[in-house]
Amino acid sequence: MIRVLLILLLALLVGTGLSLGLTYDLGYIRISLGNYLIETNFWVGLGLILVIILLTVTLINTVRRFRQGTGVMAGWIARGNERRARRRTTRGLLALAEGNWPRARKLLSSSASHADTPLINYLAAAQAAFESGDHQAVDELLRKAFESTPGSSMAVGLTQAQLQLAGNRPEQALATLLRLRKESPHHPFVLKLLKNAYLRLEDWRELSRLIPELRKRSVVPESELNELERQVWQNLLEQAAEECQRSRKENPEASLEPLTRLWDELPGFVRRDEYTIRDYARLLAGLGDEAQAETLLRKVLRNHWSDELINLYGRIQGQDPEEQLLIAEQWLKHRTNNPELLLALGRLSLRNELWGKAREYFETSLKLRRNRETLAELSRLNAHMGEEEASIKLLMQGLETDHGLPDLPMPRA
């Protein structure tokens, strides 16, 4: 009630003021514009000014509302584009999963500019282009993927390296991965792909340098890594042996230093691996240093028995064949029923021209296990001792065993 009274009182005062103002002569307003002269009463001029102000404010508000309406329209259009991009992206990913590469590439690349995650669109489109065999388009789509999303260098680079490896382009993949490794030296997936690239290129030396990092970062299982390390060093040993072979063609007195030096570089567990020892001893023997190979095998067999190594020991001629036979016969005391040792003893007996002893060792080995090598050795020995019939019989037994011939009736001679 009091508020209403105050409003009425205020209106009364304003009305009284206006009434007094209108009856009071405040003069006139005169405006000169070039050749034009405008004169008006003060109150009329004041009214015109107020009208102009009101129109100006109204115009400004109208323009503002129009611009806001334009923004709303633009937003509505943008949201429509985003919805269509999401639908096309979904259809493109489905086409990719179904193996429809051209359709997948078209849908994914065309919707990338309005997609929420353009990086995903371009990477998936690059995959589709790769499957279609269009490597030029792959590079272009990967470039757009990189430009579409800041900080995507690693993701784009890894995708590019994988596609290069899958496309049998290991040299390009290696260049990509070396660049990525500069950005992130310990990235596990970069290291794993580097391993694959070096394997494709058979770059065993670089692989040997990479293996410690692979082990430190647990990039691959330990068992797989151990097998890889054996493979790497075995190939490096073969390369060193080939280098020695080339040197000896030019100079028969050339040393085996490249091979023996590499043997000293081998990790401990690889040097204890019987297959690596076997390969190294074979390489030494192949290069003419059978004495060093025999010494190595003797030291290993003294502490760690291996049928693989004793077989090779019987094939190698040491510095003293008689001593070599005596040492192997000492091992027989603890392994009387080992067919591989008996085969080796037969061969060592042949080196010492002990024909009867050799035949006994071969026959005993055959009784324990029928083996093609032992059959062949005994057959050859019998033939040279003038027992052709026994030799032929052994050869026939070997052929029957090797080919699994069934037991069938045969004509009598």
* pLDDT value at 133 more than 90: no
The CA distance from 337 to 346, in Å, is 14
Q: Give the pLDDT confidence score for residue 208 in this predicted structure.
A: 94
Give me the mean pLDDT over the 290-313 stretch.
Answer: 94
Residue 411's pLDDT band, with cuts at 50, 70 and 90, is low
The CA distance from 256 to 247, in Å, is 9
* pLDDT value at 17 more than 60: no
Give me the mean pLDDT over the 208-214 stretch.
Answer: 94
Alpha helices by DSSP H, listed for 202-273, are: 204-216, 222-250, 257-265, 268-271
Q: Give the pLDDT confidence score for residue 224 in this predicted structure.
A: 92
Of 116-120, 127-131, 221-225, the one with minimum mean pLDDT is 116-120
- pLDDT tens column, 365-390: 989 998 888 888 888 888 878 777 77
Rounding to the nearest 10 degrees, give the CA dihedral for residues 9, 13, 19, 21.
-170
Q: Which phi and psi angles does 37 have, rounded to 5°?
A: -130, 125
Burial class (CB in 10 A: 0-12, 13-18, 19+), 303: exposed
- pLDDT tens column, 55-105: 887 888 777 766 655 554 545 444 666 678 688 888 888 988 898 999 988
Compare 308 and 61 and report the one with higher pLDDT. Answer: 308
Residue 321's pLDDT band, with cuts at 50, 70 and 90, is very high
3-class DSSP assignment, residue 32 = strand
Q: Note whether 126 and 155 are within 8 A (CB).
A: no
Percent of the chain topping pLDDT 90 = 48
Compare 271 and 86 and report the one with higher pLDDT. Answer: 271
Q: Which domains does the chain have, with CATH numbers?
A: 221-319 (1.25.40), 337-401 (1.25.40.10)
Give me the mean pLDDT over the 342-357 stretch.
Answer: 94
Structure tokens at 148: 């579409």
* pLDDT value at 332 more than 90: yes
Q: Give the pLDDT confidence score for residue 31 in this predicted structure.
A: 65
Cα-based distances in Å from 409 to 129, 146, 400, 405, 406: 65, 77, 14, 12, 10
The CA distance from 368 to 364, in Å, is 7
